[in-house]
């Protein structure tokens, strides 16, 4: 299948979010706790006027009935992109599965997994459901 750059899901919005994350990483580097990056991202997203909600509850349903347990996504940006941040040496399938579950439960199509913990550079992945 031939995919043009213009066909990438929410490419402009993702570009803006990743730009904000790169700025946070440039300013803070690695080594801080996730809560520090969470707060810094909130400030950077607001400064760039990127619409977001932090610590967004995601309701989970079983047979059309809501469960008491909710997921909490780090960010919901543009009312359509779930952003999950980490501060660890390396992310893997566990963190990807967490974001995929958030996407399933919320019925959003796109999630970003952003890791500030790598020493050399910001790591990020797009996950599409």
pLDDT along the chain (129 residues), means of 10: 64 97 96 97 98 96 94 97 96 96 96 92 94
Q: Does a structural domain hold residue 36?
A: yes
Residue 103: strand pairing partners: none
* pLDDT at residue 8, as a whole number: 85
Q: Tell me what pLDDT residue 120 has.
A: 79
The CATH number linked to 45 is 3.90.320.10
> Is residue 23 domain-resident?
yes
Q: Is residue 74 part of a domain?
A: yes
Provide the whole-model pTM.
0.90
**Total structural domains in the chain?**
1
CB 13 within 8 A of CB 108: no
2 within domain boundaries: no
Q: Is residue 72 part of a domain?
A: yes
Q: How confident is the model at residue 1, as a pLDDT?
A: 44
Residue 1 lies in a domain: no
- Contacts of residue 24, defined as CB under 8 A and 6 or more positions apart, other chains included, come to 37, 40, 41, 44, 116
Owning domain of residue 34: 9-128
- Asked if the structure places residue 45 within a domain, the reply is yes
- CB neighbours of 111 closer than 8 A, spacing ≥ 6? 81, 82, 83, 84, 99, 100, 102, 103, 126, 127, 128, 129
Tell me, what's the pLDDT at 6?
55
């Amino acid at each position: 299948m031939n995919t043009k750059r213009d066909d990438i899901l929410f490419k402009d919005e993702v570009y803006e979010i990743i730009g904000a994350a790169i700025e946070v990483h440039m300013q803070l580097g690695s080594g801080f706790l996730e809560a520090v990056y969470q707060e810094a991202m909130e400030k950077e997203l607001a400064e760039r006027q990127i619409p977001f909600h932090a610590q967004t509850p995601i309701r989970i349903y079983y047979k059309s009935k809501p469960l008491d347990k909710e997921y909490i996504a780090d960010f919901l940006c543009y009312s359509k992109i779930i952003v999950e941040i980490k501060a660890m040496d390396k992310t893997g399938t566990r963190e990807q599965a967490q974001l995929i579950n958030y996407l399933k439960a919320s019925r959003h199509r796109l999630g970003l997994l952003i890791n500030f913990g790598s020493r050399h550079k910001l790591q990020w992945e797009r996950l599409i459901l």
